[in-house]
């Protein structure tokens, strides 16, 4: 499993539990959870499934919105259901049987919502905010992971080909601009300290 899959696993799992804890459990919340859960479990297996970057960025944006101001509670439980459904698909892709993946992906957010309703000390407001902040950071990492992996792969290819190929792959203007920026920054630093 690469860093992109691992970050998606964490975003979906932690996001489902965190967004479920935003809303106290109720019968209406179960319905708001079930429909997006089924949609997420179906969507992850389609050819037009969302990428790890788009899922991470979406979770980060919604967590940021909930940190700034809390929209309607139904959105939080809906997003918890969607992330749980996507999480089930991710676990199935990793080789977990469907029944186990479904049981884990449903139980984690529902237990989180139930504990928040039964025990107010389980998820006080400050802890929910910290969990949403963590979801936001993990979502941004998941969004950036594919680009970082592509960069690492490109660097590995350049290292395998040898140093003369790596120098030829970097255009001369890039080296001149980088050198000019470095020299002008050094000159400005020396000039501003006198």
Residues 24 and 66 in one domain: yes
The predicted pLDDT at position 122 comes to 83
Q: Would you say residue 157 lies in a domain? A: no
Residue 92 has a CB neighbour count (10 Å cut-off) of: 18
The predicted pLDDT at position 169 comes to 58
Q: Comparing 87 with 170, which gets the higher pLDDT?
A: 87
- Using a 10 angstrom Cβ sphere, with 0-12 exposed, 13-18 middle and 19 or more buried, the burial of residue 39 is middle
Residues 66 and 15 in one domain: yes
Residues 131 and 166 in one domain: no
The predicted pLDDT at position 83 comes to 92
Residues 49 and 126 in one domain: yes
**Separation CA 92–CA 49 (nearest Å):** 15
Residues 84 and 176 in one domain: no
Residue 117 has a CB neighbour count (10 Å cut-off) of: 16
Domain around 54: 3-152
Residues 148 and 169 in one domain: no
Q: Which of 145, 148, 144, 142 minimizes the C-alpha distance to 11? A: 142
Could you tell me which residues come within 8 angstroms of residue 59 by beta carbon, excluding any fewer than 6 positions away?
11, 12, 15, 79, 83, 135, 136, 138, 139, 142
Model confidence at 170, pLDDT cuts 50, 70, 90, reads low
Mean pLDDT across 96-125: 88
Count helices and strands (H / E) in the chain: 8, 0
pTM of full prediction above 0.85: no
Residues 96 and 180 in one domain: no
């Amino acid at each position: 499993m690469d860093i992109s899959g691992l970050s998606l696993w964490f975003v979906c799992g932690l996001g489902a539990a965190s967004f479920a804890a935003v809303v106290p459990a109720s019968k209406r919340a179960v319905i708001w959870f079930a429909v997006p859960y089924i949609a997420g479990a179906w969507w992850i297996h389609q050819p037009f499934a969302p990428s790890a970057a788009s899922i991470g960025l979406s979770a980060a944006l919604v967590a940021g919105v909930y940190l700034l101001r809390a929209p309607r509670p139904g959105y939080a439980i809906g997003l918890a259901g969607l992330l749980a459904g996507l999480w089930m698909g991710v676990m199935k892709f990793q080789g977990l049987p469907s029944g186990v993946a479904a049981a884990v992906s449903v139980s984690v957010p529902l237990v989180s919502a139930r504990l928040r309703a039964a025990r107010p000390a389980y998820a006080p407001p400050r802890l929910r905010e910290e969990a949403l902040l963590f979801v936001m950071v993990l979502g941004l990492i998941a969004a950036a992971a594919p680009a970082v992996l592509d960069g690492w792969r490109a660097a590995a290819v350049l290292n395998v080909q040898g140093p003369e190929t790596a120098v030829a792959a970097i255009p001369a203007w890039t080296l001149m601009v980088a050198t000019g920026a470095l020299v002008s920054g050094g000159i400005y630093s020396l000039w501003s300290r006198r």
